[in-house]
Amino acid sequence: MSRIVHVNGKWLPEAAASVPVFDRGFLMADGVYEVTSVLDGRLVDFAGHMARLARSLDALGIVNPHDDAGWLALHREAVARNALVEGAVYLQVTRGSAGDRDFAYPPAGTPPTVVLFTQSKPGLADNPAARSGWKVISVPDIRWGRRDIKTVQLLYPAMAKMMAREAGADDAWFVEEGLVTEGSSNNAWIVANGRLITRALSPEILHGITRAAVMRLAAEMQMEVEERAFTIAEAQAADEALVTSATAFVMPVVAIDGVDLGSGRPGPVVTRLRAIYIEEMRRAAI
């Protein structure tokens, strides 16, 4: 089914939707994005995604073209026009087009480019991958220093996913100075002695919305969370490992660089966390 896509105030069939070749998103990856999951036709953790969008735009000095109510209306219209039940709404804002290529930013008042489209993903919640878990490989983290800004500069993460695929794995974990930063498109966690361990927030990682939700749920479940970095060796020796992201939710990791964790099957902590996360997000979706 052809999608109906939003571009700068217009709703268009996807084949007719386009942005100018001089758009800075296209020429310079000068833009940011958000991906909000949809369960039962409703938006998961929408407020969190809008807060991070505002933060990313602010960090790059791009004027936020809508307030939260405006964004909510656009997201809901994207869901409705595409009869989306389970999947995601992708949103991108770029610095727009000044009608030419130039490193200098376009003049103030140049309108940002806004694009929204939907991705139908039946089986997002009941994902068979969550029953077997992901195998990950480690790769050097050679990304830039502001990974907390959710830019569309995704070439290296895409390369890392391809390296994982070539190695027969499902994803890659980035390693910098001997410590895991995060996954190629998710936050990385381990479980050791009943404690959840994940890297503290800093410019070195994206401040995951799912990470924040899992921290809240873990606190409610009286689980201890330690915010600190860990090595691949520590992760390989952990009881369990997992990643969190808006579309993977809470995904078990069962092998790291060819070393199985524990039994090589998703463990009890990650299995429970995933179920509770999905239940809670489904309930609170808007």
| 8 DSSP assignment | T
Q: Which is nearer to ligand PMP, 112 or 277 (CB)?
A: 277
Q: How many residues bind ligand PMP (CB under 6 A)?
A: 12
User: Are 24 and 30 a contacting pair, CB within 8 Å?
Assistant: yes
Compare residues 97 and 245 and give the one whose CB is closer to ligand PMP.
Answer: 245
Q: Which helix (H) or strand (E) holds 106?
A: none
Tokens of 185: 């498109």
What character string, x for contact with ligand PMP (CB under 6 A) and - otherwise, covers 152-191?
Answer: ------------------------------x--xxx----
Q: Please report which helix (H) or strand (E) contains residue 217, including its range.
A: helix 209-220
Backbone region of residue 262 per phi and psi (left: phi > 0; alpha: psi in -120 to 50; beta: other values): left
In the window 15-54, what residues touch ligand PMP (CB under 6 A)? none
Which is closer to ligand PMP, CB of 113 or CB of 181? 181
Which residues belong to the active site? 150
- Residue 269 near residue 277 (C-beta atoms within 8 A): no
CA angle, corner 64, sides to 22 and 152, nearest 5?
A: 50
Stretch that binds ligand PMP, among 62-70, 133-141, 202-210, 271-279 (CB under 6 A): 202-210
- CB of 233 within 8 A of CB of 256? no
Q: Measuring CA to CA, which residue among 197, 189, 100, 200 is closest to residue 148? A: 200
Q: What are phi and psi of 110, to 5 degrees?
A: -65, 125
Establish if 199 lies at the interface with ligand PMP (CB under 6 A): no
DSSP for 223-273 reads --EEE----HHHHHTSSEEEEEETTTEEEEEEEETTEEPTTSS--HHHHHH
- CA dist., res. 217 & res. 250, Å (int): 12
Select 4 or 53, whichever has its Cβ closest to ligand PMP: 53
- Shortest separation between residue 257's beta carbon and ligand PMP, angstroms: 19
- Please state the closest distance from residue 110 (CB atom) to ligand PMP, in A: 27
Minimal distance in Å, beta carbon 150 to ligand PMP? 6
Q: Cβ 211 to ligand PMP, closest distance in Å? A: 6
Closer to ligand PMP at the Cβ: 12 or 152?
152
204-263 binders of ligand PMP (CB under 6 A):
206, 208-211, 244-246
CB of residue 246 to ligand PMP, shortest distance in Å: 3
Q: Could you give the maximum distance between any two Cα atoms of the chain, in Å?
A: 58
Which residues of this protein are in contact with ligand PMP, per CB under 6 A? 182, 185-187, 206, 208-211, 244-246
